[in-house]
Amino acid sequence: MIFGPCLGADLTPRWFLSTFPRFKGLHPESESGPWEEGQAAFDTTLKVGEKLDLTRNELLHLVTNTSSIKPHASIAALILLAASLPPLSSALTEELVLPKTIIADAMPLLTISMQGSAVDAGTAFTWFLIHAAGQGKIELEYDQSTFFLEVC
């Protein structure tokens, strides 16, 4: 969580442009940059999680079930999950099962992440949830919609 912003992986713009390719070319300066080393660091961390038998769904569980663990673990899981969002966005139609309470459970964590060092991961995960809602994987209630408008 402490070193996540220092990696320079540019999670939010890379995930957004891979999910919505029609916006590529509008800001060419945001498409370039040495993000490969940052992504490699996240990938190494994900491999450690795999050796500990943590799947992406278990990382999602750590993010959304914050009552039994400390917030630092949830934010760290959010950063790891955000690092793997491009494969998750393609998995929305496949095996990824999103709990119905994911938005309500993630809202406090997203609020905390947006005000701290995990803003990039929080933004990427927010776009992921909006994308999932757009594909009908989750339903947004009115207060959740206004939350996302305020966050964005």
CB 14 within 8 A of CB 23: no
Q: By three-state DSSP, how is residue 140 classified?
A: coil
- Extract the residue ranges of the chain whose pLDDT is less than 70: 1-6, 27-33, 63, 65-69, 87-89, 91, 93-96, 152
**DSSP tag of 70:** -
pLDDT at 32: 56
CB 125 within 8 A of CB 78: yes
pLDDT at 135: 82
Distance of CA 8 to the CA centre of its chain: 15
What Cα–Cα distance (Å) separates residue 27 from each residue in 24, 51, 124? 7, 38, 18
Q: Judge residue 71's burial from the number of C-beta atoms within 10 Å of its C-beta, 0-12 exposed, 13-18 middle, 19 or more buried.
A: middle
Q: Which helix (H) or strand (E) holds 151?
A: helix 142-151
pLDDT at 99: 79
pLDDT at 19: 78
Q: Which residue has the tokens 């190494």?
A: 44
Q: Judge residue 135's burial from the number of C-beta atoms within 10 Å of its C-beta, 0-12 exposed, 13-18 middle, 19 or more buried.
A: exposed
What Cα–Cα distance (Å) separates residue 106 from each residue in 8, 37, 38, 41, 152? 24, 28, 25, 25, 15
